[in-house]
Amino acid sequence: MRGALVALAVAAVSAPVATPVATAQTTTAPAAEVDGGVLCTPTDPALAELSGLAVAGGRLFAVPDAGADEAVFELGDDCAVLRRIPPAVDPYDVEDLAAGPDGRLWLGDIGDNRAARETVALISVDPDTGAGSLHRLTYPDGPRDAETLLLPRDGVPLIVSKPLFGSAGIYRPAGGRSVDELPEPGPVPLERIGTLTLGPTDTPGGPVGGASSTLVTGGAVGPDGTVAAVRTYTDVHLFHAPDGDVAAALAAGPSLRVPVPGEPQGEAVTFTAAGDLLTASESAGGALPAVRVWRDVVTLFRPAPAPEPAQTPRGAMPAAIAAGIVVVAAAAGGLWRRSSRRRRG
C-alpha cells in the first residue's frame, strides 16, 4: 500500500458517488470449514509488500505493490525467487495480479490512495519473455483507489474499488470489452456495473482494527471460472458463478468465506489449478509472512454425488417382489381354506 493509510480517508471523502447498476447487500457469509497450512515463506526483502499472487501454467507469480522494484517475481515451491521479470512498461502503483485465459499475466496498476490519478492501467506481461503492453483506463465517477483485479474466463476484467467507508464499486471496460479488445495505450472508459459490501467479521488481523474486515484488498477467479474470491485484510469471501458470470455473482453476494486470521496486512489471493486457495500478506514492518494454502476450496461448490442405487445380490429376490409373493400366497391360502369348508358342509 503506497502512502499512509490516512490517505484512504481522503480518497473516500473526496471521490464522487455514482448510482450503481446492481447492489449487493452487506453480507457476512458463513465461514467454510477448510484445512489450512503454510505453503512456504518468502525470504527476498523485495516481497515485504507482497500484494498480488497469480498461478499460470502451474507456476506461481507474485508482485509487490510499492518501492523501487516493480517486477513480477516467479516463486518456487519454497517461495524462493526463481526469476525476476521487469514489466515492459513502468507502472505507478501495482496492487494486484491476475492470469488471463491465454496464460498472460496482468498487472493491476490501480492503486490511488489519494484519489488523484487521471488514469489507472492494466499492463500485460508475458511470463516467459517479459513482453507486454499498456492499457489505460478512466473511471466514470472520478478517481478512486482500488486493489482488486479479477479476470474471468470471458477475459472481461473487473476492478473492485477500496473505499474506506461505504460500498466498493465494481467496474469493467465500457461495453464489456475483454483484455484482447483494449486499445494500446488507450484510455478506455470504465463503467460502474455494481457495488459490493463485505463484512464486518470478527476475524483478527489487519492494520486498521475493525475496518480491516471490510476493506477490499484483492481478488481472483478459480481455475474453471465458476468460483471467485474477493478478500479483505482478514477474510476471503467466495462467490459462486456456475455460468461463469463473475460480475453477476459479485452482485448476488458471497456464499461462503474463509477466515484468514493473523495476516498483518493481507492483500494477495489466488487459486491453484487443483482448486486450493493461496493467501499472502505484506509484512507491515515485521518478518515476511508465509504464503498460506487453504485446501480444496473450489470443491465446496461442487454438488454432492448422487447416492448409488442399492445393488441386489446375485440370486437374491428384490424385497418388493418377495413381499408381493407373500401377499399373493396368503390370499390364495385363505381362498383354499374357505373352499374346503364349503365342500365339507
- In this predicted model, what pLDDT tens digit does every residue of 151-165 receive, in sequence order? 999 999 999 999 999
Flag the least confident range among 60-69, 140-149, 324-333: 324-333
Name the DSSP letter for residue 85: E
Q: Contact at 8 Å (CB) between 156 and 174?
A: no
- Give CA–CA dist 201/28, Å, rounded: 7
Q: Give the residue extent of every domain in the chain.
A: 6-301
237: which residues sit within 8 A by CB, 6+ positions away?
A: 27, 29, 198, 229, 230, 231, 254, 256, 257
Pick the CATH number of 6-301 from 2.120.10, 2.40.10, 2.60.120, 1.10.357: 2.120.10
- CA–chain centroid gap for 266, Å, is 14
From 51, 185, 81, 60, select the one nearest 124 (Cα to Cα): 185
Residue 23 is predicted with a pLDDT of 56
What the block records as the C-alpha cell of 325 is: 409373493
Rounded to the nearest 10 degrees, how much is the dihedral formed by the CA atoms of 8, 205, 260, 262?
140
- In this prediction, residue 326 has a pLDDT band, given cuts at 50, 70 and 90, of very low
260-275 burial by CB neighbour count: b if 16+ within 10 A, else e?
beebbbbbbbbbbeeb
Which of the given ranges, 67-71, 121-125, 328-332, has the highest pLDDT on average?
A: 121-125
